[in-house]
Structure formats: structure tokens, C-alpha cells
Chains A and B, each alone.
Chain A
Amino acid sequence: MKKTALFTIIGLIAMSFMLPTGPSASQIIQKVDDNMSSDTRITESQMIIHGRRNSRTITSIGYSRGKYDNFTEYLAPEREKGTKMLKLKDYLWIYSPSSDRTIQLSGHMLRQSVMGSDLSYEDMMEDRKLLDIYNAEIEGEEEVDGKKVWRLALTAKVDDATYHSRKLWVEQERFVPLKEDLFAKSGQLLKRTVMSDIKKVDGKWYPHKMNYKDMLKDGQGTDFVVTKMQINVPIADEVFNKSNLKK
């Protein structure tokens, strides 16, 4: 009797090792990071800011290098045309052609909205890896837009995280996030990002439409639509230079 019980336990343990197991939350986030990041990227995009009465579209071209360096030039509408933004690690400069001045944004100014959208400069500035800020765990599996996803719960492990916790829905097949909810310390949902129109660019899956929404206020939020994307293409060093702002 004892022998039978012992064999049963050993058998169950052996079977559990043989069963296929999914990736851990950290592995999923790592794969998402790998998928979404590239050495360099040139993106032509439209930011559609939905207001109470009407919407306005801002067209821009963005150059990024690694995780820290980013240069954006606004192309339309006429009012914003020529406005340039350079982010180098923790510093952000904005050049306004109307005043022909470059200002550095810091401190409280980073909490202002970008061109009246639902995004703040600070949201754009965050370049720490999710795993450096949050402890992640898989909460469950579900379907979003007919795709199987993992629902990950991320809780801040550092004091200075802007959002205390996040929820991330990652598509199992392509390791692309489809939805992200950002929460306050009290658990109040603050912002939601919904990604769609996933396309493959140079072997990497990337969402070409994102909707950012401040969940505390009415409205449709801000759409960010990628119209053209090139990854891992050479970008001259001068692009990421302050002198490029006034050119």
C-alpha cells in the first residue's frame, strides 16, 4: 500500500515536469520589450486629439535611438508646424518656431499635457524598463478582440513610480500589448491605452494605432496612428543634437 502511494506521488511529480508550462510574467514582459524596441526607429504618425466639440490632427515625424534618445518634428497643422522636441535621457527641450526659442522642460512642467492631448510629457519621458519599476505576475488568461491574451498585474516595487500599479493585456501569439490600464495608489483607474492595427515591421510586431484615454474625464481620448515606420535604419548623430532644434 505504501509502495503504491509512493509511486503515485513520484509519478505525479514527473508528469508535472513533462506538462507544457507557459512563460513567466517577467519573460512575457521581456519578450514584449524585445518586440517593441529596436536600435533605431523612424516613425511618421498622426496624433488625433478628440476635444469636446471637435478633433484636431497633428502630424509628426519621430526619430528614436535606443531607449533614451528621441527627436520629433511636427509637420502639420500650420500652427504647430516646425515645433521640435528633443529628448536625451532625462532632459527634454522644445523649440517653438513662433518665438524662435528653445526651452528645457523640467520639474512640474513635465506634468503638462502634450499639445492638449491625454498624454503628459512625463508619460513620454518614462524610459525605465517595466521590470525595473514593477513586480509582475500573471493574473489570468482571456480574449481581447478574439485574440488569446495574458492579463498581467504589475505592482510598483520602487517609491517613485508615476503609477502605483498597471494591468497589461499581452497577446500570446505575437507578444504585443493590446491594452494597458494605469492605476493610482488607491486602486482608482486613471488612464487606459488600447493598441490595435498590429503590423509586422522588419520582423517585429508593432501596434500602429493607440488610443490614450484619461479615464477620469469624459471624451474619446487621444489617438496615435502610425502611418509609416522604419526600424533599424541608420540615423545621423546630428539628429539627436540640440543644434538640430533650430535648423
Chain B
Amino acid sequence: MKLAFQLAYRNLMGAGLRTWLNVGVLSFAYVLIILLNGILDGWNEQARTDTIAWEFGQGQLRYDEYDPYDPFTILDGHAVLPAEKRDGLTPVLLRQGTIYPEGRMLSTLIKGIDANQTIITIPTAKLKESDAALPVVIGKRMAESANLKEGDEVLMRWRDKHGTYDAAKVTVAAVFDGNVSTVDNGQMWMDIEKLREITQLEQSATYYIASTDVPVKAEGWTYFSQDELLQDLTDMIEMKKYSSSIMYGMLLLIALLAIFDTQVLSIFRRQREIGTYISLGMTRWKVVTLFTFEGTMYSILATIVGSIYGIPLFIYLANTGMGMPELSQDMGVAIAERIYPVYSVGLIFSTVLLVVVSATIVSFLPARKIAKMNPVDALKGKMQ
């Protein structure tokens, strides 16, 4: 084994630029795989933490008639939950409304929430502190689209439970800055008691946010655990991982193709050397192993080279993060202004393993030919 290593090392160094080109491309594939996966893992971790903090809490109890993917269910998707079931739950009531900032018409989702709640990060305490008749808190995206700022008043129109129109001015008590656009875009948060009063929907709620992960059972209502609520996000990031794997998979393929090519060429050019090894008593399979090991050495060298320039890059990005474009933050998922990549031990080991194993396989494939070589012809340098 030691001999194989020494021979392989000497041969690779002897190949000069060819070796370093292969190692360079392979190390770039390494760094890219770890970086892309690190970014996605970092996004996943940040999005999960933020979504739990701003939207989901420890779970949600939803009224069965309400479907968050169907806005037409908002109208009738509310009910009164028996009082004995409400312990540790924060009620949220959804109603549709329209605001008229600067003479424009803007559809809005009015979200009534207990102003005393502390389960999610929405600054509902500001609703209590405000002296306005109808205070609301809005997110920065909503503030931007409606051109509103703290202290501004805007006319809002809504309907009560009978469908009769009502309208009044609401005052922006606070503008919050969060990464979760699903609690921000086109939404206004107000005290649930005020919303119930103006819509005549006493005691009603569309869903409840749980403060503990203990499932709540109530007829007509369904409890969704944190994992179930985060499933969409998990699925989306998984899908992103698959799509980005196509990119680095192609890069890896190019690197492996280069190794394969190099192997084919060296077996063709080093037939006399192969013949000599066999004549000196090496079995054919030992020679195959020697050549395969040479190929594997590319990946080991690439690991070392990749570490030299990759580790400082990874550390730098983990500390400073990567800026995300403004537009992406308005998508339906939680994306922070900066994403900090997370590199897990599993990710690094699996990437090293993937590259080493694939390099070994592509090195072995052309080396198999050695097993069928005639040593006399090989010594003569005859084409086989």
C-alpha cells in the first residue's frame, strides 16, 4: 500500500500541469458543492427559526373551513372555540379589507391578534400603547407598497359579519422589520378585540397559535404541529437542493471526465511500465490497484487544495453572510437580507466521500484493461 502511494504520488507529480489542472477542477467542484449546500442549509435554518418566531409558534389549531391556500375560505372560515380549549392559545381572526392610501385601492388582509400575546414576534404591544381608535401594525413590505410609515392614517374599508360595508381611518402604530413575508405582504395586524367589535364576530377566530407543542383536540378544528407547518418550506428547500445539484453535478462530471481521460492516456502511454511491473512479479490486479490509486490521489490532492482556498472562504462567508436581492425577500418564503451558510460535519464528509468514491470509480474503469494485457506485448510496447 505504501509502495502504491509512493508510486502514485511520484507519477502524479511527474505529470506536472496535467495533474494540477485535474486537481484544480476537482477542488472547485468540492468547494462549490459544500458552499451551495451550506447556503441552502443556512437558509433552511434561518427560515425555520424566523417562520416559527414570526408566524407558526409551536403549532396551530385551524378551523376546518379555513384553507390558507384558498382566500375564498376567509369569509366563512372562522368559528368560536370552546373556552376550555383556549388555554395557551393565541387567537387570530382573518378578515378581508381594502385600504386607500393616496387614493389608490389596495386589497389587504386584516389579521386580528391578541395584543397581549408574546408567542410570535409581531410587536402587538404597540397596539396597546397607541391612543388611536383603530391602531394597526404593519410590516416593512406592506409599508413600502402602501407608502405608509409609523403614525400615518389610512382609510380602511371592510364588511361586518352580515356583509354590510364599514369604513374608518386606521393608524399605523408600528412598522416591523421581519424576514417572513407571509406575515407582512398585504397585511395589517390589529387587536383582535377591536376587529371582533367592528365586524361583530364576537369570540370568533380563524386559527390559534400554540405556545406549547402539545396537540389540542377540538371538534371542527385541526391541530398542525410545527413540523407539519414547516413541511412546505422543507420541501421547497429540498427541491432547491436537487436543482442546484444539477449544476455542481455537471461540474463534478467534467472533473471526473478529465480524470478518466488522463487514466486512459496514461495506461496507453505506460504499457512498458505495466509490462515491467508484471514481469517483476506484480499481479495484474495489483497493477490495476496501483493505477486506480493514482486516480483516487487526484481527489485526495483536490481535498487538500480545496481546503487551502475553500476554508478561508467558508469562514469569511459564515461570518459576513451573503446578501440576498430585495426582490427575493418579497417571495412567499422567509429569506433574510443576508444568509449565513452553515457547514455541517455531515455535509463535508459526504462531499469528500462523494468525490473520492466517484474519482476511484472513474479511475478503475479504464484501469481494468490492464488485467487483460499480455505482459510480453506490454513490455514490447505493442498496441493492445
Closest to B103 in A: A218
Closest to A187 in B: B167
Partner of B165 from the list A107, A109, A185 (CB cut-off 8 Å) is A185
- Whether A186 contacts B164 by the Cβ 8 Å rule is no
- Whether A162 contacts B165 by the Cβ 8 Å rule is yes
Q: Does B168 contact A (CB under 8 A)?
A: yes
CA distance A33 to B62 in the complex (A): 47
B9-24 with Cβ < 8 A to chain A: none
Q: Does A206 contact B (CB under 8 A)?
A: no
- Whether B162 contacts A159 by the Cβ 8 Å rule is yes
* Main secondary structure on B side of the interface with A: mixed
Please give, as numbers and ranges, the residues of chain B lying within 8 Å of A217 by CB-CB distance: 100, 103-105
Closest to B73 in A: A108
Partner of A160 from the list B96, B163, B168 (CB cut-off 8 Å) is B163
Q: Does B125 contact A (CB under 8 A)?
A: no
- Whether A216 contacts B72 by the Cβ 8 Å rule is no
- Whether B165 contacts A218 by the Cβ 8 Å rule is no
- Whether B168 contacts A188 by the Cβ 8 Å rule is yes
Please give, as numbers and ranges, the residues of chain B lying within 8 Å of A186 by CB-CB distance: 166-168
Q: Does A233 contact B (CB under 8 A)?
A: no
Partner of B105 from the list A108, A109, A162, A214 (CB cut-off 8 Å) is A214
Please give, as numbers and ranges, the residues of chain B lying within 8 Å of A107 by CB-CB distance: 72, 75-76
Instruction: Type the 1/0 row for B62-101, where 1 means its CB is closer than 8 Å to any CB of A.
Output: 0000000001101110000000000000000000101010
CA distance A159 to B167 in the complex (A): 17
CA distance A108 to B103 in the complex (A): 24
A207-223 with Cβ < 8 A to chain B: 214, 216-219
- Whether A159 contacts B71 by the Cβ 8 Å rule is no
Q: Does A36 contact B (CB under 8 A)?
A: no
A143-186 with Cβ < 8 A to chain B: 156, 159-164, 184-186
Q: Does B155 contact A (CB under 8 A)?
A: yes
Please give, as numbers and ranges, the residues of chain B lying within 8 Å of A61 by CB-CB distance: none
**Known contacts A108-B72, A190-B157: does B164 contact A216 (CB below 8 Å)?**
no
Partner of A188 from the list B72, B160, B167 (CB cut-off 8 Å) is B167
CA distance A131 to B163 in the complex (A): 19
**Other CB < 8 Å A-B pairs besides A188-B155, A188-B167, 19 of them?**
A108-B71, A108-B72, A108-B74, A108-B96, A159-B164, A160-B164, A161-B164, A163-B165, A184-B157, A184-B165, A184-B167, A185-B164, A186-B166, A188-B166, A190-B157, A216-B98, A216-B100, A217-B100, A218-B104
Which chain B residues have a beta carbon within 8 Å of chain A's beta carbons? 71-72, 74-76, 96, 98, 100, 102-105, 155, 157, 160, 162-168
Q: List 16 A-B contacts (CB under 8 A).
A: A108-B74, A156-B164, A159-B162, A162-B165, A163-B164, A184-B165, A184-B167, A185-B164, A185-B166, A188-B167, A188-B168, A214-B105, A216-B105, A216-B155, A218-B104, A219-B103
Which chain A residues have a beta carbon within 8 Å of chain B's beta carbons? 107-109, 156, 159-164, 184-186, 188, 190, 214, 216-219
